[in-house]
Amino acid sequence: MKLLLELFLTFAKIGLFTFGGGYAMLPLIENICVGKKGWITHEEMAHITVIAESTPGPVAINCATYVGLKKKGLPGAVAATLGVILPSFVIILIISFFIDRFLEIKWVASAFRGIKIAVGILIIDASIRLMSKMDRKPLHAVVLAVSFAAVMLINIFALSVSTIVLMLLAALTGTVVYLIKRRAEKEASE
């Protein structure tokens, strides 16, 4: 019980003090869970980073679930995950009650017109950073260009195509490419 509470409080602290989302949390999680508390090893931290990046969902949730699970099984995973969510949940809930009235003030509305542009720039920058981390393969470049063009067309013509369809197509392409590659390797070895 004591460990559960400690997991909850530790991850609540991590959730409260990191701005900029899950990736900004990784160093703090490493510092606390590997360094101070000794809950997991450096290797496990590297492993969890890979898992967090290659599975869907918020990176912070993936990390909290993993650490909680390692330390105290399923109850630990639940405690750590709820801990990392709780602070932002409360803060956003309070903000969301006031935001509409807040936006009626002239200077706030003006500020948000500027902020909208900043958000666009941040999103473009995020995609550029992802690109720099990607394996440079022709296949990846083609898929990237096609999905870019597809989403632009969907936006321009206001089509009702879900981006999930694009992702499923990408997953299918990946599977087919893998199967072809493996077959080619088999034939080459025979």
Partner 1 sequence: MILLELLIGFLEIGLFSFGGAYGAIPLIRDVVLQFGWLEEEKLSYMIAVSESTPGPIMVNMATYVGSVKAGVPGAIVATLAVTLPAFLIVVLLTLLLKNLASRGIYKTVIGVLTACVTGMILATGVWMVLRCCFGGVTEFSPDYKAVILTIALTAVYLVWRTISKKRMSPILLICVAGAAGVLAYGW
Task: Decide whether 6 or 25 has the Cβ nearer to partner 1.
Answer: 25
Residues 17 to 56 in contact with partner 1, rule: CB under 8 A: 17-23, 25, 50-51, 53-56
* 53 in Cβ contact with 130 (< 8 Å): no
Sole window of 1-9, 34-42, 142-150 interacting with partner 1 (rule: CB under 8 A) = 142-150
Instruction: Provide CB contacts within 8 A for 15, sequence distance 6+.
Output: 25, 60, 83, 84, 85, 86, 87, 88
The sign of the torsion formed by the CA atoms of 98, 102, 108, 114 equals positive
Dihedral, CA of residue 122, residue 123, residue 124 and residue 130, to nearest 10: 110
Stretch that binds partner 1, among 1-9, 27-35, 58-66 (CB under 8 A): 58-66
Using CB under 8 A as the binding rule, whether residue 9 contacts partner 1 is answered as no
Which residue shows structure tokens 């006031």? 98
> Is residue 170 involved in binding partner 1 (CB under 8 A)?
yes
Q: Which is nearer to partner 1, 155 or 189 (CB)?
A: 155
Q: Which stretch binds partner 1 (CB under 8 A): 1-9, 28-36, 77-85?
A: 77-85
- Cα–Cα nearest to 44, from 25, 27, 73, 66: 66
Q: Applying CB under 8 A, which of residues 28, 30, 69, 75 lies at the interface with partner 1?
A: 69
Give 190: exposed, middle or buried? Use CB within 10 Å, 0-12, 13-18, 19+: exposed
**By CB under 8 A, which span of 2-10, 32-40, 129-137 interacts with partner 1?**
129-137
CB of 190 to partner 1, least distance (A): 19
Instruction: Work out the end-to-end distance of the chain between its first and last CA atoms, rounded to an integer number of angstroms.
Output: 59
| Contact with partner 1 (CB under 8 A) among 3, 28, 75, 112 | 112
